[in-house]
Structure 1
Amino acid sequence: MKTYLYDEEQRRIWVQYKYSRAKTVKQICREAGISRATLYNWINEFPEDVVGKGAGIELPFPEVKHANELVETLQAVPAEIEGSSRYRMLQSALGVVDGDKTIARKIVAVLVKRFTLTVAQACDIVGIDEEVYGYKPRKPEVDDMAVYEALVGLILEDRTRGFTECYELLIARKPSWTRKQIRRVYKERRVFQLRKRVRKVRTSEDGSVIPAATRLYRPGSIWTLGILNATTQSGTPFWIAYIIDTDTTEMLNASAGSGKAAATDIEGFLTLAASENGRPQKLRIPGQPPFNDREITRWAWEQKVVLHTLSANKSENQAEFEKWDAMVKSQLPESGVENLDNIDELIEQWVVR
């Protein structure tokens, strides 16, 4: 004979809790000590409770000021009144005693925090709109193709534009677009590959053009990739990404940018360095952002380069990158860097061969 941990009345109550949304499935299973499958078996056992939607179950409102008075009012209602009527009476009472919706917002906050309900569910129970509670739904996303075409158009106008500049231009034209969607399209559609990194033409004092710097062409070497974060004299943050030949400890290539370096910036720099210095056999990177992002892993896989991630927790790895950072920092002027153009000129001098 099949035995139950709870009798029929107790199982019915647990089912009513589920359909009254007084408790979540996770809470019911934890408090009753049952599995989700058992709970849904009970729901199939009592189909009439599915229609009743939790008749007789009162919603708890603990830790809310003045809420106990409202609950006591509901307890005086005759038992034959359906639970749905009690909900309407509670909502009506809240509307009378809570004109500015202060209590209602507190009740919604407790329901969301303590009973793991969504804001929409809690507001529906209390009887207020989500806007009254103060919940701001995220902006609706537009079609990805519209964002893609806009990004491509901006980069085709000026191939030196990075994501930050493109984002600022798009937001100025389309304030309703979100940074999250623009960033996602920029990365997933690989729009950054349309960019063209142009080396600035250097001139001497007499005005003659200095030939473009040549790079050491060493295909099959082992690269160590690092980054140095610093600020200009005016306090503007910038970064310098550099590549060291691990065997000879020579600097093969470097690149700089303003703000904080993103994975797409590093990926673009690696692509440029591979074309100028030759594709490496192995790439050694520190195990920290932005190097451990999937863009770098994908670049290494596409280029058939062995990727070696160095743990940032090991003292020997920290000492190695501190040494490379000190080497790059020693190339900067003691008085500080004036602007990014000055950094580009310094980099040209470092890697000229």
Structure 2
Amino acid sequence: MKKQRFSETQIASILKQYEGGREALELCREHGISKATLYNWRKKYAGMDSSHIRELKALQDENRRLKQMYAELMLDHQLAKHIISKKVIKPCQKRELAESVIKEQSISVGRACRVIHLQRSLWYYRSGKDDSAIIDKLSSLADRFPTRGFDKYYAIIRIEGNKWARSRVLRVYREMNLCRRRRHKKRLPSRIKEPLQKQLLPNQSYSMDFMSDSLVSGRKLRIFKVVDDCTRESLAVWCDYSITGQKVTEILEQITAERGKPLQVRVDNGPEFTGKAFSEWCSDRSIIIKYIQPGKPMQNAYIERLNRTYREDVLDAYLFESLEELRILSDEWQHGYNHLMPHQSLNNQTPAKAHQSACRGHFI
């Protein structure tokens, strides 16, 4: 049966007839309604005339509309809280944010655009510009001239005959984040791989290296160490907050005053060893500097083995409150290592004993 919609006047008239004494079954048959509908009308609108019923229905509609409006505002508020921490300025950024909100919250495009304040036309707009040639050109220039800026790049582009507008090239330049200066690699001369050679006499070759650690307070420390490649003696373990190339030469000056100068030293490519102070000190004393290849610490294996022992016995075994505490422990460790610790490559002799044997010509 086709559903009918009764007006307020009709409902009031039916209820008035029912209250006047007419049978409910007769009224229901006459107007085509069920007895449940009649009793619901009586429960809601008993004692009301048509104007009162009209006002009640209007209030119910208004209440339903306000509830729907409140629900929509609450949803918009939740979306706003979700995106308020994200800084968006450009329309392309707003479009990306709208895409993520639609995907995560499963809302309509219209609602997302309204909350983010993005025009619907910008949502559907797709640029037809092709900047691939400019991107390739700027990438090649940045790789070739990493320390130059936009003005220099654009001048080169114009010299080569490209007619791209400056504003367009600048826009692509900024989108590629090339305005941030790139850190380029330090250029080192090519290092020749030279295998470790077993030294037959002491004071022929020294190996040197740095280690890092920190105090309990978090302050950084550096440790400079020197080893004799022949006898494996630890010649220096100097700890300080900062060790420059000048300080390295002072420590080596003390060692050479006691033992004599070596023929060569093996070092890595750190700034202390490639600097002017160390290079000139070695050159003035005719000491050959053997640089290992960058990233190849195994080419300086003698000092790396000493580093491991020192770290296990001292750095990993104690917590240091002060620099002086580390220096005392390092001196005690160096004395024990040289005079008490046998070395397998020295036929289980201590480094000090091996030095004495080599000086007498009996070192194997």
Q: TM-score, normalised by structure 2?
A: 0.37
Q: Which has the larger radius of gyration?
A: 2
The structure richer in helix per residue is 2
Structure 1 length-normalised TM? 0.38
